[in-house]
């Protein structure tokens, strides 16, 4: 049996949240009289959190805004999104089976995301998945966010794990940079939300389907000390 902690990013890794996030962005923009951002364009804006998504969307629209305006837009985004968080968001194919296989071999799971913790919990609860995770940590859990390695270190500790027996799973350069800074091996999924193909970012492993995750995790799993 393993005492390994597998830490997952959320948006674009565990769950395909893009449909609801992009819908929310465009509802907020419509209220501002702005044109909608095309889905394929907006999808790759997701990885940095909602505020960053709004900022980048406004840049695409050629609009600047004040800090107060951004705060208002962010509040509007969070309010709408919280009520529509799982309208169309679903786990990526093969996830449940991969988690079952890893759990059967003694792995514990955690979530380390730049999404707000409350929204992360709300989403996973709506999908019936929150009970699988020993810790669900967001950008506001420790007042630090990815790519700072401390959020990953603290997430592992909160899950009851050992950073020397952990593997990170993510979909972006931010996740890879976080894992590298924390000296944790990293698996990248190539179906998430990133402008740069993850293979170019040189994670330790790249997978294209969750069926491949258990093998990748145990290939990278550090040996017990």
DSSP string of 112-144? E-SS-HHHHHHHHHHTT-GGG-SEEE-TTTSS-
pLDDT of 136 > 90? The answer is yes
Reported as a single tens digit per residue, the pLDDT across 159-177 is: 999 999 999 999 999 999 9
If you average pLDDT over residues 207-220, what whole number do you get? 97
Domains of the chain: 5-16+89-220 (3.40.50.1000), 18-83 (1.10.150.240)
pLDDT digit string, tens, across residues 14-39? 999 999 999 999 999 999 999 999 99
Pairing of strands 90-91, 15-16: antiparallel
Give me Rg for the CA atoms of the chain.
17
Average pLDDT, the chain: 95
Average pLDDT (101-129) is 97
- Mean pLDDT of all residues in 109-117: 95
- Give every CB contact of residue 141 below 8 A, 6+ residues apart in sequence: 117, 151, 154, 155
pLDDT tens per residue across span 50-72: 898 999 999 988 888 899 999 99
User: pLDDT band at 116, cuts 50/70/90?
Assistant: very high
- pLDDT for residue 223: 67
**Edge to edge, what strands does the sheet with 166-170 contain?**
135-137, 108-112, 5-8, 166-170, 186-189, 205-207
> Is there a contact between 140 and 121 (Cβ–Cβ < 8 Å)?
no
Q: Rounded mean pLDDT of 94-101?
A: 98
Q: Per the residue annotation, which of 9, 16, 20, 175 is the catalytic one?
A: 9
The closest of 81, 77, 92 to 11, measured between CA atoms, is 92
| pLDDT digits 0-9 by tens, 176-205 | 999 999 999 999 999 999 889 999 999 999
Per-residue pLDDT averaged across 78-103, rounded? 97
DSSP state of 2: -
Identify the three-state secondary structure at position 183: coil
In the predicted model, is pLDDT for residue 3 greater than 80? Answer: yes
Active-site residue 3, yes or no?
no
């Amino acid at each position: 049996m393993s005492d390994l902690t597998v830490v997952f990013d959320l948006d674009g890794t565990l769950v395909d949240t893009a449909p609801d996030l992009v819908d929310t962005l465009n509802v907020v923009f419509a209220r501002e009289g702005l044109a909608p951002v095309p889905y394929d364009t907006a999808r790759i804006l997701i990885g940095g959190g909602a505020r960053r998504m709004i900022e980048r969307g406004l840049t695409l629209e050629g609009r600047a805004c004040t800090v107060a305006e951004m705060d208002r837009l962010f509040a509007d985004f969070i309010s709408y999104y919280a009520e529509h968080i799982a309208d169309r968001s679903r786990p990526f194919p093969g996830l449940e089976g991969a988690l079952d296989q890893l759990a059967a071999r003694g792995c514990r799971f955690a979530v380390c995301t730049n999404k707000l913790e409350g929204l992360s919990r709300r989403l996973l609860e709506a999908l019936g998945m929150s009970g699988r995770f020993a810790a669900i940590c967001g950008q506001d859990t420790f007042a630090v966010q990815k790519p700072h390695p401390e959020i990953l270190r603290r997430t592992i500790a909160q899950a009851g794990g050992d950073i020397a027996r952990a593997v990170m799973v993510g979909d972006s350069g931010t996740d890879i940079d976080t894992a590298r800074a924390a000296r944790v091996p990293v698996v990248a999924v190539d179906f998430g939300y990133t402008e740069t193909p993850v293979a170019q970012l040189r994670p330790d492993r790249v997978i294209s389907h969750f069926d491949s995750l258990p093998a990748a995790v145990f290939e990278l799993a550090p040996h017990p000390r």
